[in-house]
Amino acid sequence: MDITSKFASVEINGIGRRAYINSSIGRAELLSDCTAHDVKDVYDEVMAVWGENPTVPDEPLPPEPTLDELKTQKKSAIAAARYEAETAGTTVNGVLIDTGRDSQALITGAALAAVIDSSYSLNWKTENGFIHLTAPEIIAVAQAVRAHVQTCFDREGELVALVDAAQTAEELDAIDMTWTV
């Protein structure tokens, strides 16, 4: 291998891939299943990091990940995407409500107080300042937040089922991880 050739580990759609890069001819060869578009992206990404004079590592390439390892990586990426969507907030009656884990706990506590005492009310801090909420409004916010969170977990479950059903790396790559919450 000449000084302008290198192996690389790259990530495409949350899944690790290995590539052989030959910068003298501006070409990448993927050592696992990817599309031609991925090859160009890999070459551009790796060359941006290596620069014009890459050095060749003496270490052997790590073994190609197994399908089970790829599935574990994909499930981790799905869980991270779910958490991001879950905690990104939701809009209730035109008001953006924080859905971070701490806020979920505070909303649950407020909803419990509203259930126990129907005359309960409070001032709730939002991104745009405080709003006054009555017991029924508190319960409605709690229900909306709970629905938002459950929708995120339901989507994660759908995607994990697709991962479990995948028989090849190509099928894993084809899973659409779009979140519409």
Give the separation between CA 164 and CA 71, rounded to whole angstroms.
7
How many other C-beta atoms lie within 10 A of the C-beta of residue 30?
Answer: 20
**pLDDT at residue number 133:** 98
Which residue(s) pair with 123 in the sheet?
Answer: 132
Residue-wise pLDDT tens for the chain (181 aa)?
344 445 555 555 555 555 555 555 444 454 455 454 555 565 566 666 555 555 555 566 678 899 999 999 999 999 999 999 999 999 999 999 999 999 999 999 999 999 999 999 999 999 889 999 999 999 999 999 999 999 999 999 999 999 999 999 999 999 999 887 6
Which residue(s) pair with 129 in the sheet?
Answer: 126
DSSP assignment of 30-49: ESSS--HHHHHHHHHHHHHH
Q: Tokens 């990448």 correspond to what residue? A: 28
- Listed in sequence order, the DSSP H helices in 122-168 are 135-165
How many other C-beta atoms lie within 10 A of the C-beta of residue 148?
Answer: 20
Question: HSE-up of 156 (CA within 13 Å, CB side)?
Answer: 18
**pLDDT at residue number 109:** 97
Cα 21 to its chain centre, rounded Å, is 28
